């Protein structure tokens, strides 16, 4: 999503750079085009209301990404628990091997 730009890069300014450009070039010409934009100027319109379809699509995307994040976190938890268990098992095995080697040394 593109952030609004303002004159002097000040978010508190009330005039958008696009509005300044529009005023400088004299608005739309006889063909309803803005100088420098040609036919593209008809594709962009300013609106004070939110596009319902775009909002639904954004919410759908956010919901999907949240579900993916939850699934990813759920996978990480068992992996972490498995790692702890593996480290515990390794420690026990190392201690057993150490005790066995001590017994063997005592027998020799």
Residue with tokens 């190392």: 94
**CA atoms of 78 and 74, how far apart (whole Å):** 7
In this predicted structure, the answer to whether residue 41 has a pLDDT above a threshold of 70 is: no
Q: What are the tens digits of pLDDT across the range 10-27?
A: 554 456 676 777 677 777
In this predicted structure, the answer to whether residue 102 has a pLDDT above a threshold of 50 is: yes
């Amino acid at each position: 999503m593109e952030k609004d730009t303002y004159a002097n890069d000040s978010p508190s300014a009330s005039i958008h750079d696009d509005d300044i450009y529009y005023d400088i070039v004299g608005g739309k010409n006889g063909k309803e085009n803005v100088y420098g934009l040609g036919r593209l100027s008809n594709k962009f319109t300013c609106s004070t209301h939110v596009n319902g379809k775009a909002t639904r699509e954004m919410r759908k995307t956010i919901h999907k990404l949240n579900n993916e994040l939850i699934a990813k976190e759920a996978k990480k938890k068992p992996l972490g628990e498995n790692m702890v268990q593996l480290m515990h098992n390794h420690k026990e095995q190392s201690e057993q091997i150490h005790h066995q080697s001590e017994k063997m040394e005592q027998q020799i």
